[in-house]
Amino acid sequence: MRKRSCFINFALFSLSLLLSFIFAEIGFRIILFSNIPAFDDLRNPNRYADWFSDDDYWKLYYLFDGQFKPPQQPHPVLGWVGDFSRDSYIHNKVEYIRDRRPVLLYGDSYAQCTQEVLCFQDILNNDETFSKDYYLLNYGVGGYGVDQIFLLFQNSVHHYDDPFVVISLMTCDLDRSILSVRIGQKPYFRIEGETLKLDGTAINPDPDDFFSTNPPQIKSYLYRRVLYGDYLPKRVVSFLRRDNDHIRKKIQVNEKIILEMVKELRADNIDYVFLIFHPHWPGVSTLDSESDWRDPFLKQLLHENNVPYIWSKELVRQDTTGDKLSFEDYIIPDSGHPTSHFNRLIAEEIKRYVLENP
């Protein structure tokens, strides 16, 4: 009888605990998705998901009315576009090439540049030595991952005769390749057998419909709040968040995308160089270290496959233009993007590679 009584008491306790958690979860969700100003601090997607690896972060970003809005006329393949025709992929400045050799720069916002700095086309197309025989077209698009950079390259490079191609990657573009949404819906690749398969297209032309039919897949916001708070040891959090699994997936997908780009460049006898941008984000990547997984992965992949590349960190280390330069001379503190000075260093390296391959 005593054993039975203990079992009943344990069952009742477990049931009451479960019911309490369910009611707490329901209450927390009501508060979380309300418009009560007192709870604004809870409506931060960083408290429930990882913006590097988790679609749920960006779905919550939309639901919590984030600063940046998804494009209202999304591109059916790329998601969003830059300074080129959304129909033909031909650059809007193509008429300025004239009889010069086109230099095509692909990448994300680090290639596209922020408004307050001199960008690569401003520097090189006004350089007498470079602009005599070459003209740079900037295909950089803010927010792009390695997948979108690859797709834009595939759909545009054939429009140009004998181009020199610069494939630029900011190290955290690797993370974007496993996402199906980043502010707006985007394409992504998955590995099927030994091949890449494009998924996520055609992009839903109605962003509101996409987000309403693809809500976050979070089962418990209370659990996520604990997991993404400062309550548990970092190793425990990393295990529960399956960080190593995410990194493995990123490495597998990006390796195939990068090698496919290299394969296509070589098959078409196109001169090219890869440009690796490094943000100065403590805990992710810094200009004075190579401690996280992204740098070793990229450096080893490029070395093993004899891919020419520009390593932006090395340009900082070799810079002799000033004796007392700080990180702020290379990286804009608020955005993490390169300054005009840093862009000039990189532009000189691009120029060197181009002129060596006439």
Q: Confirm if 67 and 111 have CB atoms less than 8 A apart.
A: no
- Of the pLDDT bands very low, low, confident and very high (cuts 50, 70, 90), residue 4 is low
Indicate the residue type of 28: F
pLDDT in tens, 290-331: 668 999 999 999 999 999 999 999 998 888 876 667 888 899
Which spans in 196-242 are helix H? Answer: 207-213, 221-227, 234-240
Q: Which positions ≥6 away from 47 have C-beta within 8 Å?
A: 224, 225, 228, 229
User: Where residue 37 falls among pLDDT bands split at 50, 70, 90?
Assistant: confident
* Segment 273-283 mean pLDDT: 87
The average pLDDT across 280-286 equals 72
Which backbone phi and psi does 265 adopt, to 5 degrees?
-60, -45
Ranges 18-27, 156-165, 324-333: which has the least confidence: 18-27
Residue 208: Cβ within 10 Å count: 11
Asked if pLDDT for residue 159 goes beyond 70, the answer is yes
Share of the chain above pLDDT 70, in %: 92
> Using 50, 70 and 90 to split pLDDT, how confident is the model at 23?
confident
Environment class of 40 (CB within 10 Å of its CB; exposed 0-12, middle 13-18, buried 19+): exposed
* Whether pLDDT at 19 is above 80: no
Architecture of domain 73-208+242-355: 3-Layer(aba) Sandwich (3.40)
> Can you state the angle between helices 243-267 and 294-304, rounded to 10 degrees?
30
Model pLDDT for residues 102-147, shown as the tens digit of each residue: 999 999 999 999 999 999 999 999 999 999 999 999 999 999 999 9
40-45, Cβ contacts within 8 angstroms, sequence gap of 24 or more: 42/225
Separation CA 82–CA 77 (nearest Å): 13
- Tokens 């400045």 belong to 93
Residue 39 pLDDT: 85
Q: Exposure of 25 by Cβ count < 10 A (0-12 exposed, 13-18 middle, 19+ buried)?
A: middle
Tokens read off for 106: 């692909």
Confidence of residue 253 (pLDDT cuts 50, 70, 90): very high
Q: Which range is least confidently modeled, 199-213, 238-252, 283-297, 306-320?
A: 283-297
- Residue 11: per-residue pLDDT: 66
Nearest 5°: the CA angle 307, 111, 206 is 110
- Where are any strands of DSSP class E within the chain? 101-107, 134-140, 164-170, 181-182, 184-185, 188-192, 195-199, 271-277, 309-311
**Per-residue pLDDT tens for 72-91?**
899 999 999 999 999 999 99
Identify any residues that bridge with 103 across adjacent strands, giving them in sequence order: 136, 164
DSSP letters, 278-333, are: ---BTTTB-TT---SSHHHHHHHHHHHTT--EEEHHHHHHH--S-SS--GGGTB-T
Rounded CA-CA distance 269/1 in Å is: 84
- Ramachandran angles phi, psi of 103, nearest 5°: -115, 115
pLDDT at 3: 63
**What does DSSP say about strands 101-107 and 134-140: parallel, antiparallel, or unpaired?**
parallel
Q: What's the pLDDT tens digit per position in 146-158?
A: 999 999 999 999 9
The pair of three-digit structure tokens given for residue 109, joined into one six-digit string? 């916002």
End-to-end CA distance of the chain: 92
pLDDT (mean) for 57-62: 96
Residue 151, SS3? helix
Question: Do residues 309 and 303 make contact, with C-beta atoms less than 8 angstroms apart?
Answer: no
